[in-house]
Amino acid sequence: MCGRFVAKNNRELIQEYFSLTQPIAPPFLSPDFNVAPSRSAYIITGGDGPNVEVMRWGLVPSWAKDATIGNRLINARLETVAEKPSFRASFKKRRCLVAADGFYEWQEQPEGPKQPFYLHPAEQPLLAMAGIFELPHEPSADGAFTDDEPLTFCILTTEASANIANIHHRMPVVVPNKNWQAWLDPNVQDADEVIALVPAPPTGFITAHPVSRDVNNVRNNSSELLTEVSLS
């Protein structure tokens, strides 16, 4: 799974990298070096052209009775996303790109606690992680949903590339630049056609290094979390 990622939220870089049709508008997000579920992120959507929306991490399907389900729906497996009731409608019509600098995964150790690693693109400035999103819920009479509910999203995952599979067996799905437009197009709805847009990235596309276990605590949030540590 992907349970944490890094979003430095460099608006100029995001604007240029994704060729956005409109400038990123407030509310502006601060750099987040330890994005955890329920936090907000910049999400690229289609429509009139690539645009940015601020969304909360944790998908809340249209049929949900309250927003707490989003705490469990932070990832969707690429292999089954088109079939699962929680995800299939969003996968068909509401795909998005999650603008990230990298992500964290935890490696099992022979003894002791897991070792966190920071994984990021070896050459490209940003990751375009594949996501799906849901529209805000209407206010409900029981108060479970209010009149200011956010857009919500989750990140798709797939089998890890060979060079990082020793860290964790899953990784976020990465959408190649050439396929962004089709991925964001709600008129592209055939599941096989959509899945073909996200082939496994080449080995070496993602690189990794060990980082401090300080990242385990979501309250820790600084660029120092990205610093490589020695495992000796």
Rounded CA-CA distance 58/177 in Å is: 25
The alpha carbon of residue 128 and the mean position of all alpha carbons in its chain are separated, in whole angstroms, by 8
Are 104 and 215 within 8 A, CB to CB?
yes
Give catalytic status of residue 105 as yes or no.
Answer: yes
Q: Structure tokens of 89? A: 């409608």
Element (H or E) spanning 118, and its range? strand 115-121
Are 104 and 120 within 8 A, CB to CB?
no
Rounded CA-CA distance 206/195 in Å is: 20
Give the chain's domains with CATH numbers.
5-226 (3.90.1680.10)
Give catalytic status of residue 96 as yes or no.
Answer: no
Q: How many CB atoms lie within 10 A of CB 43?
A: 22
Strands of 32-35's sheet, edge to edge?
A: 32-35, 5-7, 102-107, 115-121, 206-210
Determine the longest span between alpha carbons in the chain, in angstroms: 57
Closest CA to 100 of 229, 25, 3: 3
Rounded CA-CA distance 63/50 in Å is: 28
* Active-site hit among 53, 105, 134, 149: 105
Closest CA to 77 of 160, 176, 197, 189: 160
Spell out a b/e string for 190-216, using b for 16 or more CB atoms within 10 Å of the CB, else e.
eeeebbebbeebeeebbebebbbebbe
**In tens digits, what is the pLDDT along the chain, a chain of 232 residues?**
799 999 999 999 999 999 998 899 998 999 999 999 999 999 999 977 789 999 999 999 988 888 889 999 999 999 999 999 999 999 999 999 999 999 999 999 999 999 999 999 999 999 999 999 999 876 565 655 556 789 999 999 999 999 999 999 999 999 999 999 999 999 999 999 999 999 999 989 999 999 999 999 999 999 999 999 998 7
pTM, 2 dp = 0.94
